[in-house]
Structure 1
Amino acid sequence: MPQYKLCYFNLRGWAEPARQLFKLAHVEFEDVRIENGTPEWEALKPKTPFGQLPFLTVDGFEIPQSAAILRYLGRKFGYAGKTPEEEAWVDAIVDQFKDFVTPLRQIIMAQRGGDAAEIQRVKTEVFEPARDGFFKILNGILEKSQSGFLVGNSVTWADLVIADIITTMEKLGVFDVAAEGNKKLVQFREKVNAIPEIKEHNETRPDSVRQDEKKITIGVCSYLYLRMAEYKFYYFNGRGLGDVSRQLFALSGTKFEDVRIEQADWPAQKAKMPFGQMPVLELKSSGLQIPQSMAIARYLANKFGYAGKTPEEAALADALIDQFKDFYTEIKPYYYGKLGAMQTDTEVEKTKTLIPARDKFLAILVKFLKSSNSGFLFSGGLTYADLMICDNMRSLIGWWPEYLNGFPEIKAWYDKVDSIPEIRKHLDSHEDKGF
């Protein structure tokens, strides 16, 4: 039996669903709780894999990032979904939740600031539209569910995440349990919390609110599934967060219908998509549609053998993707300014946001490359993590050719990935319209 140690702050936060998974599986683990802002945490921080919590130790092997931990345990204990398609939908739901948390955090921070006008502005312009959209998606899923859970016929780690955030929102005063439109969500939470192991755990845990300022990053790790299928991939006519899925098709030699939608045609297509956004992967044989870019990429990576050669490599690939998403969020003022989606001074933001975020993120990648004997991020070979991070770098290098100066290991790795024949052929066959 492996020895597990989960290290997190002394609150529910982003480690709580992992604790619940241990309880559901009746697996013993060491629950190490650190007080935030203490000398103990400051001493531990530089020793953690990514300089943050939580991290899980399995017989001495460290896995960082809450999402990577959840998916690793979900797969180990049987709470990740019963099929690869269910696993992908679990991932998509939690990724959609992650999209919602950014506006949730904004209203919380506005409330803390105490400026009534700013609170009203954020509430009206940012929070309420995001909340209503997110709840509409959840209610739609629950309307179709025959089990009362979000995916399939039994509880998954997605149920644990969503049920716990509903409790957090209630405690923060931004979820009205009495509202007519929230009845299904309240019933769903009650169903999850009535599971005997969850009920026992919740009744004995410290009642602390989720740490709302912790960055939320959710991803997926599912197992290889060999059933043949025909694919239809919907995305804009550019690279974006969807091109890694196209690259995975190219690497595996799998034919797919590449539906590229121009911006002018998008409004007419939006309502047809599961979450009202793209990319979306459709399995022609069943008509099943899988939303969310990371859910799709991980589903295909597992199908085609690019998710990591072992469960531990897969978990770390997931963790690196989550860390990449943290980096992507940090550099938005620069990145979106370059894309014309935000009005920012990109030269100022390059110094203020891009360079510090780059230095921190690339230092993490260097550690992985030095411990790998394959020239890729993991010794087992190329993974979708290599593809995703390198594809983002293509845009950054295009805007700032000196982006990788001072990082020779990263430059060699980037060139190695960029020169893979299938990747090069795919990129050369389409006009580069950006990440």
Structure 2
Amino acid sequence: MTAQSTNNDSSFVLHYMKAMGRAVTIRVMLHLKGVKYTNKVITAEEVAADRAALPFGQVPVLIETKADGTTLELGESLAIEHYLAEKFGWLGTTPEESAILKSISLNIYFNLYNNCFVPKTPIHESIADPSSVFNTKTLPLFIATQERWLMKNGNNGHCWGDKLTYPDLTLLHWIRLFEGLGVKLDEEGPIKKVEKTVMAMEEWKGKFEAYHPFSSIDAI
């Protein structure tokens, strides 16, 4: 399945399963930028059968072919996201801005991923339990930290400046993931304002719901 192409000088092949999963933000980036890319479906069984064929024995893997024919093979979802964010202009214009934007995104990711998907208790059970670590610590800290950053930026629907940056997309992913699991966020709060701002971008081309964390490439 191939997205619409533009005059970008590279084409991309993303190796991952049909589910959005850990590749959702990568696919969102490629879609919003309008570059030429193909989803190469690889099953868990295929990964297990030939891990040596992949950079780190797992997916996602992104292969970029540049205009001069050279290729880049890149593994690890966060590394791929950081590379595309920088390539597409979503990591600021200076090393200092880039470091700050990465720090915001990584704070979101590590605090939520480590507390939601590493523990043995399934996340949907943690959400349903008012006394769980998720409800008493993880979620309140996430909300307080992100609201502080967003208010510092003027509560304008962006994490940094007045246009789309990488942490906007990171935050969007976790907002949609949590809401899909039943977490209720303040509709008038600064976190939801980011979702509404990014959702209104014309670059989605009517595909906002198709690129949901719980969706698959069949919807694209």
TM-score (norm 2): 0.78
Q: What is the percentage of aligned positions where both structures have the same residue?
A: 24
User: What RMSD over aligned residues (CA atoms) do the two structures have, in Å?
Assistant: 2.9
| Structure 2 unaligned blocks of 5 or more | 1-7
1:405 aligns with 2:189: no
Alpha-carbon shift at residue 377 of structure 1 (Å): 0.3
Larger helix percent = 1
Distance 1:299 1:254 in 2: 15
1:291 matched to 2:72? The reply is no
The whole-number CA distance in structure 2 between the counterparts of 1:251 and 1:317 is 19
Alpha-carbon displacement from aligned partner over 1:133-189 (angstroms, at most 9, x marks no partner): xxxxxxxxxxxxxxxxxxxxxxxxxxxxxxxxxxxxxxxxxxxxxxxxxxxxxxxxx
User: Structure 1 residues 336, 250: CA separation in 2 closer, same or farther (over 3 Å shift)?
Assistant: farther
User: What is the aligned residue count?
Assistant: 203
From 241, 244, 255, give the equivalent of 2:25.
244
Kept in 1: contact 2:24–2:211 (CA 8 A): no
Q: In structure 2, what is the Cα distance between the partners aligned to 1:288 and 1:310?
A: 24
Q: Which has the larger radius of gyration?
A: 1
Distance apart, 1:423 and its partner CA? 3.6
Q: Are residue 388 (structure 1) and residue 170 (structure 2) matched?
A: yes
1:269-316 per-position Cα deviation (integer Å, ceiling 9, x unaligned): 533110001111112333431111111111111111111244332211
Tell me the distance in 1 between the aligned counterparts of 2:41 and 2:62. 12
Q: CA 1:371–1:361 in 2, change beyond 3 Å: closer, same or farther?
A: same
- Give 1:332-347 correspondences, 5 Å limit: 332=117, 337-338=122-123, 347=128
2:131 alignment partner, SS class: helix
Q: Which residue in the other structure is 1:300 paired with?
A: 84
CA distance in structure 2 between the partners assigned to 1:291 and 1:333 by the alignment = 21
Residue identity in the other structure for 1:315: A
| Pairwise CA distance, 1:240 | 2.0
1:318 aligns with 102
8 Å CA contact 2:61, 2:75 repeated in 1: yes
Residue pairs, 1:28-427, within 5 angstroms = 228-284=9-65, 285-327=69-111, 328-332=113-117, 337-338=122-123, 347-348=128-129, 351-355=131-135, 356-373=137-154, 374-402=156-184, 404-405=185-186, 408-423=189-204, 425-427=206-208
Deviation, structure 1 residue 422:
2.6
TM-score by length of 1: 0.42
Q: Which has the bigger relative contact order, CA under 8 A and spacing at least 6?
A: 2
CA distance in 1, matches of 2:213, 2:173: 11
The separation in 2 between residues aligned to 1:266 and 1:329, in whole angstroms, is 24
Distance 1:434 1:428 in 2: 8
C-alpha displacement of 1:434:
5.4
